[in-house]
Amino acid sequence: MLIPAFSGRGAIFGALMNTTALRPLPLATLLAASLLACAAKPVPTEAPPAEGAETAQSAPEGASSAGEGDRAAIEAAVAAPHRADKNRARDGARHPVETLTFFGLRPAMTVVELWPGGGWYTEILAATVHGKGKLIATNFDPNASSDPKDYRVRVGKAFLEKLESDPVYEGIDVVTVGDPKALVLAPEGSVDLVLTFRNSHGWIEDGSAEAIYGAAFRALKPGGVLGVVQHRAKADDAREPKAIAETGYVREDYLIQTIEAVGFELAGKSEVNANPKDTKDYAKGVWTLPPGFSEGDTDRAKYEAIGESDRMTLRFVKPAG
């Protein structure tokens, strides 16, 4: 378990010795401090930024978050010209630099992106690892149906077209998703980082979460990281998890339990994507909020003022053993 920056033997002894009299402390006091410093530490959590404050947050001590050089590479990818303007417009709501730094993205990594959808994060991941690392992305089978309106067909074709639109996407491996229970993302133990953004509700709803997170676990190297961003339900929502998932939200404790059940360990949390204005009680679920606006122009100003959903940002680790 990782140790937060505010905890540690050095901090305790420093506090004990920082007295106005600078008197030597009794041996019993020093021994007690040592025992306290070795006590169990909580999972590190980053506090939410104050309203109007900068969103950049430092990672907990000992975390596998990216360093300053790696953060600069992420920042350069976010600023790269190949990104769609409509995607760039959402940077302030999705905090890609802070989120990917927290997950520990580095240019030389082998990275898997699960269910990339329209490729919002693919634009940034591809540019970050281009020429140094490797990106693997899942995609729906564009030939899954003869109906051109089928979601899998539409999204599958659009994603492949995106990958052909710019040289930055050259070298990306695409894993076509069929049966999630048979999903193989990469050779076992070959991946450094697996990422998924706002997909877990769908997997819980259709019963595939365990299989997909199990595939991620197998693909990761020992010590590898799973990064998850997901719309967060109210902590006291007593409905069945699938019923909650139908609204796009998932209870944080339930998602942690689900992911830990396949072998992962929770290594850290960040509140960089939190939104306390999100009331989570909309008739049409999370898609009522931007950018979906499922209610159309009805109360649009109200939902614009709320902003995008309240999201949990969780980092898990595949145990080294």
Convert the pLDDT of each residue in 116-129 to its tens digit: 999 999 999 999 99
24/76 same-domain check: no
Same domain for 301 and 184, yes or no, is: yes
Residues 180 and 148 in one domain: yes
Whether 206 and 302 share a structural domain: yes
Distance (Å, rounded) from C-alpha 7 to C-alpha 38? 10
Q: In the sheet that 220-231 helps form, which strands lie side by side, from edge to edge?
A: 173-177, 134-140, 110-114, 191-197, 220-231, 311-317, 265-270
**pLDDT for the residue numbered 321:** 75
- Together in a domain, 8 and 128: no
| pLDDT one-digit tens code per residue, 151-176 | 999 999 999 999 999 999 999 999 99
- Residue 15: which domain range? 1-42
171: phi > 0 → left, psi -120 to 50 → alpha, else beta; which?
left
Residues 20 and 92 in one domain: no
Q: What is the mean pLDDT of residues 274-299?
A: 98
Within a domain: residue 48?
Answer: no
Per DSSP, 38 falls in state T
Beta bridge mates, 114: 196
| Residue found by looking up tokens 């009331």 in the block | 279
Lowest mean pLDDT, pick from 9-18, 132-141, 242-251: 9-18
Given a cut of 50, is residue 184 above it in pLDDT?
Answer: yes
Give 256-269 pLDDT, tens digit per residue: 999 999 999 999 99
* Token code pair at residue 124: 């940034």
- Whether residue 47 is contained in a domain is answered as no
Give the phi and the psi of residue 298 in degrees, each rounded to 5. -65, 120
| Rounded CA separation 65/53 (Å) | 21
Confidence band for 140, pLDDT divided at 50, 70 and 90: very high
pTM: 0.81
Q: Are residues 186 and 228 in the same domain?
A: yes
- Cis peptide before 291, with omega less than 30 degrees from 0? yes
Q: Does residue 182 form part of some domain?
A: yes
Q: Cβ of 116: how many Cβ atoms within 10 Å? A: 24
Q: CA–CA distance from 87 to each of 80, 92, 293 (Å)?
A: 12, 10, 16
* Inside any domain, residue 104: yes
Residues 307 and 163 in one domain: yes
In terms of domains, do 156 and 233 share one?
yes
For the chain, what is the domain count? Answer: 2
Task: Tell me the two tokens of residue 211.
Answer: 């299989």
Q: In terms of domains, do 68 and 130 share one?
A: yes
Q: 238's torsion region: left (phi>0), alpha (psi -120 to 50) or beta?
A: alpha
Cα separation values, 291 from 85, 273, 306, 308, Å? 14, 15, 11, 7
Asked if residue 117 belongs to a domain, the reply is yes
Question: Is residue 203 one of the residues assigned to a domain?
Answer: yes
**232 and 289 together in one domain:** yes
Report the distance separating Cα 273 and Cα 284, nearest Å. Answer: 21
Give the whole-angstrom CA distance, residue 188 versus residue 244.
33
Q: Which residue has the tokens 């898997």?
A: 112
The CATH number for 233's domain is 3.40.50.150
Beta strands in the chain (DSSP E): 110-114, 134-140, 173-177, 191-197, 220-231, 265-270, 311-317
- What integer pLDDT is reported at residue 44 of this predicted model? 55
Q: Give me 119's structure tokens.
A: 């490729």
278 and 138 both lie in a single domain: yes
Q: Return the amino acid letter for 292.
A: G
Beta bridge partners of 193: 111, 225
